[in-house]
Amino acid sequence: MKNFVLIIVFTILGACSAPLEVGISDPFEASNRQVHEINKSLDKNIVRPIAVLYGDSTPVQLQSAVNNIAMNFSLPSNSINYILQGEIKSASNSSMKFLVNSTLGVVGIYDASSQLGIKSEKTDFGETMAKWGIGEGPYLDILVLGPSNQRDGIGRMVDIVFDPVGLIGVGAKGVATFTSVAFGLSARSQFRESIDSILYQSADSYAQSRLFFLQNRRYELGTNQALPYIDPYN
């Protein structure tokens, strides 16, 4: 199974699997910048106004409950990705967390497992591919989804298409989708100052989003490109 997926992935990525040495690879900058402008106008006209309305009119406890449900429904997918990464302990933690939070935590409203000391980091298929040795490839700004790179863009699509929550039932899938959209809106509202400062107040919002995404992602994945050493006193 793992080999089969590997073959498909390597075929798709083809020549792009060489890891970056340093910095930023952005051969599609011109088209990426166009997508960035479209995404900005989507945010300005649709996402941000809805997010601000939702964030300001919904009590924090309710937002927190909805966010917890969304995080709970991401656990089955995390678990499968951990199996693909060969991280059996993390996979079993994710599964255990999902079982505990879905039952004791009432469909995930309460993060009951954390109180029991069950810890689980989030993961995704992009990280799975990174663990298999696939490099991030060129930077990509994807319509609606925003900043990404070739590997993680493909990863996101695989995660969406193969999300095991769909196997639980249409109802569960519906709740998972609804709460994850609400989670996104809640975050867009909570971090509006930071996001606005990148998108609308910076001199080059494209370059800033690209830098933020790449650094944050490399840090999350713990790659050797993360955390460059900078000494301003030299």
Residue 4 or residue 229: which is nearer to other proteins going by CB?
229
Amino acid at 99: L
Q: Residue 206 CB: number of other CB atoms within 10 A?
A: 21
Helix 170-190 and helix 192-199, axial crossing angle in degrees, nearest 10? 70
**In the complex, minimum distance from the CB of residue 74 to other proteins, in angstroms, rounded to a whole number:** 12
Residue 208 · residue 202 · CB < 8 Å:
yes
Distance CA 177, CA 73 (A): 9
Give yes or no for residue 72 binding other proteins (CB under 8 A): no
130: buried, middle or exposed (CB in 10 Å: 19+, 13-18, 0-12)? Answer: buried
* Residue 194 C-alpha from the chain's centroid: 18
Task: Identify the residue among 21, 161, 203, 224 touching other proteins (CB under 8 A).
Answer: 203
Give yes or no for residue 37 binding other proteins (CB under 8 A): no
Give yes or no for residue 202 binding other proteins (CB under 8 A): yes
Distance CA 161, CA 124 (A): 13
Task: Identify the residue among 60, 85, 136, 224 touching other proteins (CB under 8 A).
Answer: 60
Pairing of strands 139-142, 146-149: antiparallel
Size of the site for other proteins (CB under 8 A): 33
Task: Identify the residue among 31, 41, 115, 216 touching other proteins (CB under 8 A).
Answer: 216
Task: Identify the residue among 27, 103, 194, 200 touching other proteins (CB under 8 A).
Answer: 194
- Binding part of the chain for other proteins, among 39-47, 87-95, 138-146, 207-215 by CB under 8 A, reads 207-215
Minimal CA–CA distance to 189: which of 99, 95, 60, 69? 60
Residue 107 or residue 187: which is nearer to other proteins going by CB?
187
Which residues are near other proteins by CB under 8 A?
Answer: 60, 63-64, 67, 71, 186-187, 190-191, 193-194, 197, 202-204, 207-208, 211-212, 215-220, 226-233
